[in-house]
Amino acid sequence: MALFLFVHAHSPLHPGTGQSLGAVDQAVARDKATGYPYLPGSSLKGALRAKAAGNPDIKLVFGPDTSEAEKSSGSAVFGDANLLFLPVRTTKGLFAYVTTEYMLRRFKRDADLERFTPRPGSGPIGNFVSDGKNVAFDDLATVEKKDEALLGQVLQLMPKELEAEVRPRAVCIAEDTFRLLLEQGLDLVTRVRIDAETHTADGGGLWLEENLPAETILVSLVGELRDKPKVETVVRKAAEGVTYLGGHVTVGRGRTQLHVGGAR
């Protein structure tokens, strides 16, 4: 059985591609088909490898150093971390963890294939941010909630401590409405260009950086080619504490907490 790594952003997160998107100089990575943001699996692997430094099984799990990469591969397989919940400001309860049927089914498909067993449910869904069947976002009219049964199944597949935080604010809405919220919901930060030699503003103007907002939740599937017990032990240990992911971490981006679900 594989592991799931739930990435909970505690500060804005920049899973960048180094490419521009329209007026945005540094856009977040997006899935080609859906346009939904994701965090590349290579970013997760690199961050966890750095945190596992000194572990005697580091090469077995993550593979040898780059200079010896041709000799063997690591045992762990890190999938991209796909968007699962986007925080959106609401008129009641401050903000909601918003998702769609597609994102829920994408996650549940992997969970079913891995025979991941859900836990019993625990409490009402979305009661902090909605009254009955609807939820009101600051920039939109009242929106009808969708597929609460599927949402409940996915919440039961999340680690207990993360589910307890998300469940009271979780809502599933229509894809078209979510796309509108996504366009408005990413953080755009204006920054000043700095001269590489003088380390001062070089007069070259401003540039725009796009980030996933704090409280965003993504999920990655971590599989194993071999040595399952050692993969699980090393990944669980490396996931403890704070993990910095994505770009621009030295200016406060990418501070995350990883929650491990799955095997064991």
Domain count of the chain? 1
Long-range contact set of residues 17-23: C-beta below 8 Å, sequence gap at least 24: 21/210, 23/208
Kind of pairing, strands 3-9 and 217-224? antiparallel
Longest dimension (CA), the chain: 59
Determine the structural domain holding residue 84 and report its residue range. Answer: 3-262
Q: What is the pLDDT, as a whole number, of residue 202?
A: 57
Q: What is the pLDDT, as a whole number, of residue 222?
A: 96
Q: What is the pLDDT, as a whole number, of residue 23?
A: 47
Q: What is the pLDDT, as a whole number, of residue 16?
A: 73
Q: What is the pLDDT, as a whole number, of residue 187?
A: 74
pLDDT along the chain (264 residues), means of 10: 94 76 68 94 95 94 75 88 97 96 97 90 89 87 90 95 96 95 80 56 65 96 92 96 92 94 67
- Phi, psi at residue 261, to the nearest 5°? -130, 160
